[in-house]
């Protein structure tokens, strides 16, 4: 082991794959290492253990992106420039826990 207490993955698909690989290697989740993904895809709450993930307002982000693209295609530009802020949040599930004690 590397001594790492957590692994954060780019997306939930990679994190779920890591959960499976850690299980094959008999690495305890979250007792040996915590695992976290990003996206909160369908199924993240069903895997074992359920995956802790960053949840973002995907539907709203998609609507804003589509509106900007339609504006760009219709008008040749987006005017005035648009700045939107979105508030992702951490959805804590069973794949994360306290860091293991140093032995």
Q: pTM (2 decimals)?
A: 0.78
Q: Is the bond into 31 cis (omega within 30 degrees of 0)?
A: no
- Domain boundaries defined on the chain: 6-91
- Walk along the chain (103 residues) and give the pLDDT tens digit of each residue: 578 899 999 999 999 999 999 999 999 999 999 999 999 999 999 999 999 999 988 888 899 889 888 888 888 776 677 788 889 999 999 999 998 875 4
The sheet carrying 6-8 orders its strands as 6-8, 34-38, 52-55, 89-91
Query: What six digits make up the tokens of 31?
Result: 């007792």
Q: Is the bond into 80 cis (omega within 30 degrees of 0)?
A: yes
What distance in Å separates the CA atoms of residue 41 and residue 36, rounded to the nearest whole number?
A: 12
């Amino acid at each position: 082991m590397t001594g790492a207490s957590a692994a954060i993955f780019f997306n939930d698909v990679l994190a779920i794959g890591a959960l499976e690989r850690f299980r094959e290697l008999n690495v305890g989740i979250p007792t040996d290492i915590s695992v976290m993904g990003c996206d909160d895809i369908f199924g993240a709450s069903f895997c074992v253990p359920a995956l802790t993930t960053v949840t973002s307002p995907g539907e709203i982000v998609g609507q804003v992106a589509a509106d900007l693209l339609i504006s760009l295609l219709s008008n040749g530009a987006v005017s005035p420039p648009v700045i939107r802020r979105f508030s992702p949040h951490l959805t804590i599930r069973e794949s994360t826990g306290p860091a293991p004690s140093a032995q």
